[in-house]
Amino acid sequence: MRWSRTGVGLAVVALCFALAVSGTAPEQQLTVYTSQTSYSLPALDRGGKSYVSVTDLLLPLGATKPILKGKEWKFALNKAEVRLTKGKEKATIGGKQVELGGKLLVENGRVMLPMVAVLPVLGRLLNTTVDYHQPARRLFVGNTFTRFTADFKNGEQPSLVLSFSQPVTVNEDHVEKRGILTHTDTTTLIFAKDPVVSDLKTQQYGDGAIQSLSFSEENGAALLTVTGNKQLQVVCSDDGNTITLQAQAPEVSAVPPPVRPSVPSTETQKRPLEFFVMIDPSHGGTDKGASFGGKLVEKDITLRLARELRKELEERGIAVRLLRESDVDLSLDRRAEITNEQRVGIYVALHAGRPGKGVRVYAPLLTDPQQPLAGRFLPWESAQSGAISRSQTVARAVSDELRKKGLTVTSLSMPLRPLNNIAAPAIAVELTPDEDDPQSLESQKRHNNVATAIALGIVQVRNQMEGRL
Amino acid sequence: MIPRHFQITVALVLLAILISGVIIIHMTHKEEALTLQAAEAVPVAPIVGGRQEHIQLLLAYDEDQALRWRSADVFLPVDRNLRARETLRSVLAQYLQMPSPHPLAKGTDIKDVYFISDDTMIVDTTAAFADGHPSGILLEELTLASLIETLTANVPGIAKVKFLVDGKERETLAGHADLMSFYQTAVVHELAKEFE
């Protein structure tokens, strides 16, 4: 009895300590953004691995509640049945096995999924693109992104105007002021519920009241941090589409302001609309594309090549987005819709197919050219009409670079979907197996050669577009 | 008394005969099914009443990635719709024979063709035409260019063509070539030139 009392006492102390510690550490969370809503759910540590509740994750997306049948937990989403078994490292989704990257846990009737399994599971279940920013635990369903431009105005009262593509919410809880007594003040805007993304790391503005703007992501939120040597006033306007950070009015003082090094000569530094390339790894999910014998199918080759091309473009300072990151179904019309919504710089569709050898580069060809309608709308079937000459320029530049690499290149104009539905320069690049050897489509060296050449062609055209040549 | 080893031998022989019989029946049924399937895949014979004409077909050759004109003697009716259908079928017949310069799936056929205006034609194909078509940009475009060019060469006055699959619209032929749009025959003519 005496021992058990001691044990209970120790347990209470340990519990209090644990509660105290957990109280100080911020709760880890995953945030999911969809076009209709956004929601956060706790990420729980279980044996060094992060877990999320299946119900919390999937119920808002329209899934049925998991039901225990025998040893299996079953639920459905988008007509696909999901079967999960406690302790197993694999799930069955729509009859196919998916690796979970850890054991499935069940705690008090709650099914817990390893965090690493979130992307493959959602990729299988949702008929749309799923983009997962893993380190920050931010999950974007269906290209739901809010982007922004920053407009810095220098003067007596320097200000930074952030214009967002969709309304954002920054209330008092989301504004943190830090470092009041230090040399540099920092204002951080935290966006927990808005899918704010950016390729911006840090933008320098000088050394005054507003010195730099940086973007980062952590713990299911996006952070915009502005540094300077004064506290800033944060004002939201334009129904949440604009946030202005402004230095307080200078106080009247007999002491002259300290002399500062000169700031950039332009009064206004405006970030132009960002140029980015949309890479479309064609096919995916149930649409396998061309088959090359065995398990080699077009949808896998295009995804691999897309990743290689992204790497090559990013190394050359060009922002890139992929239309699909995993093996998901995505209709051709949806691919065009996403591309048009995001106002891409250049769209590149990747394919693989027979016959022939080398690489084929396709520019769009309108089968029934129509005059654009008056006003803001373009006919869907000939949305490409306004961009077709630029598409041909891109196709020529890419073909030239491929030839420089010693590859056999065929350049053609073809009526392909979704190229004709895209209102921006668009091309398709098709790999063909060398000497009818399908394995050549998997060659890393070949992928690298082709990706490098496409990237060089795009850099050249981008420079022409921006008048750098 | 029959020796035991003799009984076993007889039983094994009887079992072997039984198994052989089952296998033979199964193979016969399979062969019959294949024969029937092949017979169904053969295009319908020309309509009686048409007259034989010497026409030009633009055929796809996969190995050379080319389109080439070939002549053929085909029974063609006078009616414009039927003439268009038989012209298209004569192209498909070339692709369905063995060996084929541009293999298409068994069951590929033209279900119907009809004009929605003087110069605009709808071609309704069987499901096998699209479902069994080899996937690939070039292979699909060669099929469409071959059909449209042959059609305009033998049925005058067609300016636009659209393809349906089993009576319905489909996004693409086999993942690439556009089937949603109307094809202007003049545009296809320019495209076909690149492969001739």
Contacts of B162 in chain A (CB under 8 A): none
pLDDT in tens, A118-169: 888 888 888 778 888 888 889 988 777 888 888 888 777 788 888 888 778 7
Q: B74: Cβ–Cβ under 8 A, 6 or more apart, which residues?
A: B46, B52, B53, B55, B86, B87, B90
**Positions of chain B with pLDDT lower than 50, given as ranges:** 38-48
Prior bond of A355 cis (ω within 30°): yes
Q: What is the pLDDT of residue A256?
A: 38
Q: What is the pLDDT of residue A376?
A: 57
Averaged pLDDT, A308-312: 94
Region of residue A274 (phi > 0: left; psi between -120 and 50: alpha; otherwise: beta):
beta
Q: DSSP secondary structure string, A179-209?
A: -TTSSSEEEEEEESSS-B--S--EEE--SSS
3-state secondary structure labels for all residues of B3-46: CHHHHHHHHHHHHHHHHHHHHHHHHHHHHHHHHHHHHHHCCCCC
Q: Can you point out the beta strands (E) in A306-425?
A: 319-322, 346-352, 358-364, 409-414
Name which of A213-227, A257-271, A315-329, A435-449 the model is least confident about.
A257-271
Q: What is the pLDDT of residue A224?
A: 86
Contacts of A331 in chain B (CB under 8 A): 171
Mean pLDDT, chain A, rounded, equals 79
Strands B51-61 and A232-237: unpaired
Interface of A with B (CB under 8 A): 282-283, 287, 289-291, 298, 331-333, 351, 353-356, 360, 362, 365-369, 381, 410, 412-417, 420, 428, 430
A297/A290 Cα distance (integer angstroms): 6
Prior bond of B99 cis (ω within 30°): yes
Averaged pLDDT, A216-228: 87
C-alpha distances out from residue B125 to B133, B156, B165, B175, Å: 12, 21, 5, 16
Q: DSSP secondary structure string, A11-55?
A: HHHHHHHHHHHHHHSPPPEEEEE-SS-EEEEE-EEETTEEEEEHH
- Residue among B136, B176, B181 whose CB faces A367 most closely: B181
Q: What torsion, rounded to 10 degrees, do the Cα atoms A377, A383, A386, A392 define?
A: 170
Residue A459 pLDDT greater than 70, yes or no? yes
Q: pTM for the full model?
A: 0.55
Put simply, the answer to whether B176 touches A416 (Cβ < 8 Å) is: yes
Q: What is the pLDDT of residue A188?
A: 84
A392/A401 Cα distance (integer angstroms): 14
3-state secondary structure labels for all residues of A45-107: EECCEEEEEHHHHHHHHCCCCCEEECCEEEEEECCEEEEEECCCCEEEECCEEEECCCCCEEE
Q: What is the pLDDT of residue A16?
A: 43
Q: Taking a C-beta distance cutoff of 8 angstroms, is the pair A229, A210 a contact?
A: no
Between residues A219 and B140, the one the model is more confident about: B140
Q: What is the pLDDT of residue B58?
A: 95
Cβ neighbours around A299 below 10 Å, total? 21
> pLDDT-based confidence at A237, cuts 50/70/90?
confident
A242/B19 Cα distance (integer angstroms): 82
> pLDDT-based confidence at A436, cuts 50/70/90?
low
Averaged pLDDT, A55-63: 83
> pLDDT-based confidence at A40, cuts 50/70/90?
confident
- Residue among B135, B181, B188 whose CB faces A381 most closely: B181
Name which of A107-116, A155-164, A424-433 the model is least confident about.
A155-164
Contacts of A283 in chain B (CB under 8 A): 175
Cβ neighbours around A253 below 10 Å, total? 7
Q: What is the pLDDT of residue A207?
A: 74
Q: What is the pLDDT of residue A177?
A: 38
Query: B26-30 long-range contacts, Cβ below 8 Å, gap at least 24?
Result: none
Put simply, the answer to whether A289 touches B135 (Cβ < 8 Å) is: yes
A449 residue type, one letter: N
Name which of A148-152, A272-276, A301-305, B63-67 the model is least confident about.
A272-276
Q: How many CB pairs under 8 A join A and B?
A: 88
Q: What is the pLDDT of residue B161?
A: 95
A126 residue type, one letter: L
Averaged pLDDT, A401-430: 92
What percent of chain A clears pLDDT 70, i.e. is strictly above it? 82
> pLDDT-based confidence at A26, cuts 50/70/90?
low
Averaged pLDDT, A363-376: 68
- Residue among B65, B175, B191 whose CB faces A289 most closely: B175
Q: A91: Cβ–Cβ under 8 A, 6 or more apart, which residues?
A: A82, A83, A84, A97, A98, A100, A104, A117, A121
Q: Which residues pair with A186 in a beta bridge?
A: A178, A227
Residue B43 Cα, gap to closest chain A Cα (Å): 26
Q: What is the pLDDT of residue B34?
A: 60
Residue A339 pLDDT greater than 80, yes or no? yes
What percent of chain A clears pLDDT 90, i.e. is strictly above it? 21
Q: Taking a C-beta distance cutoff of 8 angstroms, is the pair A360, A430 a contact?
A: yes
Q: Which residue in chain B has the smallest CA separation from A366?
A: B187
Return the structure tokens found at B173: 């032929």
B63: contact with A, CB 8 A cutoff: yes
Q: Can you point out the beta strands (E) in A316-439?
A: 319-322, 346-352, 358-364, 409-414, 426-432
pLDDT in tens, A164-213: 887 787 644 444 433 333 345 788 888 888 898 888 788 888 778 888 88
Name which of A326-340, A371-385, B31-45 the model is least confident about.
B31-45
Between residues A235 and A25, the one the model is more confident about: A235
Averaged pLDDT, A404-412: 91
Return the structure tokens found at A256: 């002259």
Residue A111 pLDDT greater than 60, yes or no? yes
